[in-house]
Chain A
């Protein structure tokens, strides 16, 4: 565990030395402040459009940070020729994979914390209330979704040749699942065999990332979700993280590092 957290610590330090997060955060803040200054028929209480825009930017920024940070981890180690010395020390390959994973995931957690605090403050200025439990549920679900994405990108970084191709493929998969994942079975129903079985199988095996998107509930002030459903969703996410990380360990075990 010590080795894993040592590697993770380095990844977190790398994130706050890079400019990606700062740029995305400042852009998010600027866009939201401009949108907040829009006069909607002289009504200062109208807030939901602003919440929607802010959450959309938070989601986009977090996805970009998660995928791009993870995708370059192992290729960068290879390129800098630091991978071999790292593995020559008493760090096993699975430890490196898990270290990179936890580093990226915790780093995403830190960025999410900053983004959600800003979101909460922005929404409080308009709505004059702070539903902390709702925001906590949304942030935790979002963080676990990023866990799946980080694990998936890490596996991708070992399978695909370059970080750019890995990032592109990850974005396509994530976008696809978020937009049509919930309806894949309906799409399959309108198809002929054998495509129907293929799409139906896909529906059951892909991680349903749309579970973790609580934006509609937050924007429209729906009541807090029951914690048992949140807990089940987190377990579902943990299972997929484990599947992707196991896959990454298996691929990395046979991979040449020089």
Chain B
């Protein structure tokens, strides 16, 4: 049996060796790029390869401990936030989840395409037997939303929606590549908790991790326009969001995200109308009409603006 001194010395030697290997490999990682197909690494990048983000690859504790499974955990924490939004009234894997396909906390921001259908009030269904019937007294069985008072039903306590934020923050830490986490968090921070500065900082963090995200740009534009009343910055950000949306290229993805495009363009139209640039407002409404399912309503708005232009002449 080795003495404790020998064991300690062996441990120290191992530590020095590990540190040495780490120090030797670190500079090489800084020049590594992800190959085009995303399956390997290269030190000789071409135009389409992506550079390895050293801060995320090495320094992030979640990445070191969890690896790629952190995305799965991120999704489960995102769903957890939605369960908090419902004060614990949430379907399990055994229940009917049709009315919870899209998280309600995201749906209520108005910038997400909802896939929900069915009755959200009664996913538990009728009572199956006496055990099920008796058991329902011991867990939440009423559909509520935190921004509408939650379990207490007290509407003055709508800032309680902040209870979802720790899980959203954790979800963003685990998977910084999901733009929706940033937009949902920023929306509730700004709308209900009146923490505009924190919302802006979080959106900027999201933008650093997802520079091509039109969702984050849209939410950032809303923040500038609705909270700071900064028309110029809001316009710039929303126009950048439109460009990013057109840069998607894939028609399927564009079709799936057309609600965001409609939101961006209708907000741009409103901004231009408020700023007195009526022809520009019509331009954006016509752009929105191309993807909207309520093209008739948009046409009515176009007609109203055209009437205003005629009146001005």
Residue of B nearest to A190 (CB): B94
Determine the distance from Cα of A233 to Cα of B131 in the docked complex, in whole angstroms. 11
Q: A27-67 CB contact bits vs B (8 Å, 1 = yes)?
A: 00000000000101111011111000000000000000000
**Is the Cβ of A183 less than 8 Å from the Cβ of B92?**
yes
* A220 in contact with B138 given A46-B166, A185-B128 (CB within 8 Å): no
Is B137 positioned at the interface, with any CB of A under 8 Å from its CB?
yes
Is A135 positioned at the interface, with any CB of B under 8 Å from its CB?
no
**Is the Cβ of B167 less than 8 Å from the Cβ of A45?**
no
Q: How far is the CB of B181 from chain A (nearest CB, A)?
A: 14
List chain A residues, Cβ under 8 A from B267.
none
Q: In the complex, which of the residues A47, A212, A222, A232 contacts B163, with contact meaning CB atoms closer than 8 Å?
A: A47
**Is the Cβ of B166 less than 8 Å from the Cβ of A217?**
no
Is B165 positioned at the interface, with any CB of A under 8 Å from its CB?
yes
* A222 in contact with B165 given A41-B198, A210-B135 (CB within 8 Å): no
* A49 in contact with B195 given A217-B140, A220-B88, A233-B138 (CB within 8 Å): no
Determine the distance from Cα of A217 to Cα of B139 in the docked complex, in whole angstroms. 6
State the main secondary structure of chain A at its contact with B. Answer: helix
**Is the Cβ of B140 less than 8 Å from the Cβ of A185?**
no
Is B279 positioned at the interface, with any CB of A under 8 Å from its CB?
no
**Which residues between 198 and 254 of chain A lie within 8 Å of chain B, taking CB atoms?**
203-204, 208, 210-214, 216-217, 219-223, 225-226, 229, 232-233
* Size band of the interface chain A makes with B: 35 or more
List chain A residues, Cβ under 8 A from B189.
41
Residue of A nearest to B201 (CB): A41
Is B179 positioned at the interface, with any CB of A under 8 Å from its CB?
no
**Is the Cβ of B94 less than 8 Å from the Cβ of A48?**
no
Q: B115-136 CB contact bits vs A (8 Å, 1 = yes)?
A: 0000000000000110110110
List chain A residues, Cβ under 8 A from B140.
216-217, 220, 222
Is A125 positioned at the interface, with any CB of B under 8 Å from its CB?
no
Q: How far is the CB of B81 from chain A (nearest CB, A)?
A: 10
**Is the Cβ of B138 less than 8 Å from the Cβ of A232?**
no
Is A186 positioned at the interface, with any CB of B under 8 Å from its CB?
yes
Determine the distance from Cα of A233 to Cα of B135 in the docked complex, in whole angstroms. 9
Q: How far is the CB of A115 from chain B (nearest CB, A)?
A: 20
**Is the Cβ of A208 less than 8 Å from the Cβ of B135?**
yes
Is B152 positioned at the interface, with any CB of A under 8 Å from its CB?
yes
Is A182 positioned at the interface, with any CB of B under 8 Å from its CB?
yes
* Size band of the interface chain B makes with A: 20 to 34
Is A187 positioned at the interface, with any CB of B under 8 Å from its CB?
yes
Q: How far is the CB of B150 from chain A (nearest CB, A)?
A: 7
* A219 in contact with B88 given A40-B166, A46-B163, A185-B132 (CB within 8 Å): yes
**Is the Cβ of A38 less than 8 Å from the Cβ of B150?**
no
Q: In the complex, which of the residues A43, A204, A221, A226 contacts B162, with contact meaning CB atoms closer than 8 Å?
A: A43
**Is the Cβ of B135 less than 8 Å from the Cβ of A182?**
yes
**Is the Cβ of B131 less than 8 Å from the Cβ of A222?**
no
Determine the distance from Cα of A205 to Cα of B96 in the docked complex, in whole angstroms. 26
Is B183 positioned at the interface, with any CB of A under 8 Å from its CB?
no
Q: How far is the CB of A184 from chain B (nearest CB, A)?
A: 9
Determine the distance from Cα of A179 to Cα of B123 in the docked complex, in whole angstroms. 19
**Is the Cβ of A229 less than 8 Å from the Cβ of B138?**
yes
List chain A residues, Cβ under 8 A from B202.
41
List chain A residues, Cβ under 8 A from B131.
185, 203-204, 208
Q: In the complex, which of the residues A43, A48, A187, A216 contacts B139, with contact meaning CB atoms closer than 8 Å?
A: A216
**Is the Cβ of B138 less than 8 Å from the Cβ of A48?**
no
Q: In the complex, which of the residues B92, B128, B138, B151 contacts A214, with contact meaning CB atoms closer than 8 Å?
A: B138
Instruction: Please give the residue numbers on chain A whose beta carbons come within 8 Å of chain B beta carbons, in ascending order.
Output: 38, 40-43, 45-49, 141, 180, 182-183, 185-187, 203-204, 208, 210-214, 216-217, 219-223, 225-226, 229, 232-233
- Contact sample, A vs B, 30 pairs, CB 8 Å cutoff: A40-B165, A41-B162, A41-B165, A43-B193, A45-B162, A47-B163, A48-B84, A48-B163, A141-B138, A180-B94, A182-B132, A185-B128, A185-B129, A186-B94, A187-B94, A204-B131, A211-B135, A214-B138, A216-B140, A217-B138, A220-B140, A220-B150, A220-B151, A221-B87, A222-B87, A222-B88, A222-B140, A222-B151, A223-B152, A225-B137
